[in-house]
Amino acid sequence: MVNRVGSQSFATSSTASTSSVGRRRELKEARATVSRSRLTTLTGPGGVGKTRLGMEVGQRLQTHFRDGAWMVDLGSLNPGAPISPIVASALAIQDQSNRGALERVTDYLQDKELLLFLDNCEHVLSGAGELVDRVLATAPGVRILTTSREPLSMAGEAIYPVPPLATPSVEDDHAVQDLERFESIALFVDRARNVVGDFAITPENQRAVIELCTRLDGMPLAIELAVARLQSMSVTQLLDRLDQRFRLLSRGSRTAQPRHRTLQALIDWSYELCTPEEQVLWQRLSVFPSSFDLEAAEEIWSFDGLVPDLVLDLLDRLVAKSILLTERNGEAVRYRQLMTVREYGADRLNDGAATELRRRHRDCFLRRAETMVEQWSTPRQGEFILRARTERPNSMAALQWSVATPGEINAAARLAVALRHHWVSDGYLSEGRFWLDRVLGEYDDAPERHERGSALWVVAWVSLLQGDHEAGAEYLAECRRVATALGDDGLLAHTEHWSGLYGIFTGDLSSAIVHYERAVAAHDRVGDLSARLTAQFQLGMAQVFHGDPRIALATCDRAIKSAAEHGELWTRAYSLWISGIGLWMMGDHSAARAAAKDALTIQKNFHDAICTALTTELLSWVAASTRDFPRAVELSGAAASVWRSLGTTIRAFGPHIDEISRASAKRVGQGLEPGTSDSSPFEHKRLTKEEAIAVALAEPQDADQETDIQPLTRKEWQVAQLVARGLTNRQVAEELVVSPRTVDGHVGRILTKLDVTTRMHIASWVDGRRGM
């Protein structure tokens, strides 16, 4: 699972959903180690509490870093898999550029001051080492904290071994009231009360509790798994059974770490306490690299005569036994296994069952992705894109297995194609390009197939959005050849469609319009509603930049009406953006602003980064045209921030829109008051999509309206409010990113307009206006 986290997120991780117990000394020492070294690795066996300690360190240090602390869980990756894409995702570096993920990560971090926490590195040591080495070399403000069962073995690495929790001596006598000073006992009691509400250490169970925690070597995971048995056993019974299992494994490898043997013994014992059906489900659930829902579990379980009706009851039993953890979001419940438990189940699968499971897992998420495509133009659109985000680890694991497994390339192509809205709407263009290229590379000697043709037009779309226009043209030429050879009308329609986008992006608008008109008709003939709606709004885009805003408005109006009939939002938002451009070109600034804000209101829930950036840019043009130049600067800065986070610029979308953007920026620069900075407060900040939308949807009053109710201009009102807060002129200048001399002029004019003589009078006047 990937936790994309910021300053608040360590507390929201599932690992942190239970109270933290003990570790004061380790926390102090680990914090000191991180302060001394730019690379710190917390080492120790699985289940010792490395992740918990790392999260505690991150929580306490996040305010020490300008850009916070970020956690990346690498546990869902396959052994040896590259880690840069998952790090880029966790850091919210949107996959829009055509550069490699490692380059994008290092470029993003080079001016940051943050703590990067990489959790569970042991199975991806090579990739982790490569990324860490590059980041440390190029990002002087970044410190890295990792957890791993073995060190990264890098120069300058500070290794902090995480010890087990403190345990009392079995030989010594201990007062009952003093036992919870030992961390392992405190953890046992805390977790036991979650199972048995009135649990307490008594003279009768005292020795059993001490011996149990000692025999578990103070391992937090082992203690928590053992405590789960208290719902049906006493501590003494628990200890008796555990002791039998330890003796059973006492002749294991002498070279293995003792703590690893005891954890293995505990999991062996937990496994043996499961029924045969529970054991089979435990094994089969190991196919999920991250969390999963009930429906997915039912699909992968049901073969070899086992029926899905059993799954819910078996899941409930595995949750009760702490083999599974639950994650709740409203009414939705998902399940996941700890990494150690998942690996244990995977080790017990035979090769035949493992292959069948991975195929069923792939088929499950292929069906979901293809359902999203089939029902894209419906009211479920938002639900589908949210599910694609949630199931991303499962989809990527399914795609990786399909590409790597002989005979599965057609299914791999179908999955990569079906995920196209995830690649585009969620901003994972680089990853989509990577997988589509890999799929196509496997077709070198294969006969022409529809799946290959589909992959060609999807990768063309992705390439064009990345700004790699010539590669897009080459993919489209090959797609046309495949479509012609197969006589496939659907592929031919897509060839026309994306040739239209190529025309827009390369400035050939007349050709683009012809291609789109053909595409709309062709999609209609084959009954592809979603493709027809997309081609229709893009036709409107070609028309508006061609200088035909009225025709474009009519085209978009048809697309909006059709989208509304089907409850579709994606096309509607883009059509509103294009309509806004047309209205702006016709001088109807109020209607243009309203259309743009309607589009962004949709994006509050949809979060399409490209539409967000384009529409915010449009609002900046409207502000410039109405001479609200400070607002235009603010909006263009917010749009530029989103473009930077995506790794591209508006130039990738063609020379016509780029020319408009440049002309608007020039007009703003010429219209600003002398001495006023044309730099947005967001120029050096990467806003999230949500933050950019909030900026764009803010409702600052129009300058003319403000003049009607008060004597100050918009900028003077801003200055007056800051003066009322007690800021000096220099502090006001820093807040507004202008020169102190400019603020001096504003304050002088404010005093004159208000007919007052002191800053105190300004503050009193501001307070009075706020009360109106």
Would you kindly state where each structural domain of the chain is located, as residue ranges?
9-161, 176-271, 274-349, 528-699, 703-770
Decide which of 1.10.10.10, 3.30.500.10, 3.10.290.10, 1.20.140.160 is the CATH code for 274-349.
1.10.10.10
What confidence tens digit (pLDDT) does each residue in 638-696 have?
998 888 877 778 988 999 999 999 999 998 988 887 766 555 555 556 677 888 899 99
- Prediction pTM value: 0.73
What confidence tens digit (pLDDT) does each residue in 554-595 have?
999 999 999 999 999 999 999 999 999 999 999 999 999 999
Q: Please report which helix (H) or strand (E) contains residue 91, including its range.
A: none
Q: What is the pLDDT of residue 710?
A: 56
Q: Which of 121-125, 457-461, 507-511 has the lowest mean pLDDT?
A: 121-125
What confidence tens digit (pLDDT) does each residue in 730-741 have?
888 777 766 777
Strand partners, 41: 146, 159
What confidence tens digit (pLDDT) does each residue in 694-710 have?
999 987 544 333 333 35
User: 528-699: what CATH class?
Assistant: mainly alpha
Strand partners, 42: 147, 160
What confidence tens digit (pLDDT) does each residue in 588-639 have?
999 999 999 999 999 988 889 899 999 999 999 999 999 999 999 999 999 9
Tell me: domain 9-161, CATH 3.40.50.300, correct? yes
Nearest one of 347, 360, 446 to 401, comparing CA atoms:
360
CA–CA gap between residue 361 and residue 186 (Å, rounded): 40
What confidence tens digit (pLDDT) does each residue in 384-399 have?
998 999 999 999 999 9
Percent share of the chain, pLDDT over 70:
89
- Over the chain, what is the mean pLDDT? 86
In this structure, what are the phi and psi dihedrals at residue 95, rounded to the nearest 5 degrees? -80, 75
Q: What is the pLDDT of residue 181?
A: 86
Q: What is the pLDDT of residue 248?
A: 28
**274-349 with 703-770: one CATH topology?**
yes
Percent share of the chain, pLDDT over 90:
53
Q: What is the pLDDT of residue 474?
A: 97
- Residue 689, Cα to own-chain centre: how many angstroms? 12
Identity of the amino acid at 393: P
Q: Which fold has domain 703-770?
A: Arc Repressor Mutant, subunit A (1.10.10)
Q: What is the pLDDT of residue 291?
A: 92
Nearest one of 90, 161, 77 to 127, comparing CA atoms:
77
CA–CA gap between residue 270 and residue 257 (Å, rounded): 20
In this structure, what are the phi and psi dihedrals at residue 43, rounded to the nearest 5 degrees? -110, 165
Residue 673 is classified by DSSP as P
Q: What is the pLDDT of residue 440?
A: 95
Instruction: Evaluate if residue 14 carries a pLDDT over 80.
Output: no
Q: What is the pLDDT of residue 707?
A: 35
* Rg of the chain (C-alpha set): 30
Instruction: Evaluate if residue 13 carries a pLDDT over 80.
Output: no
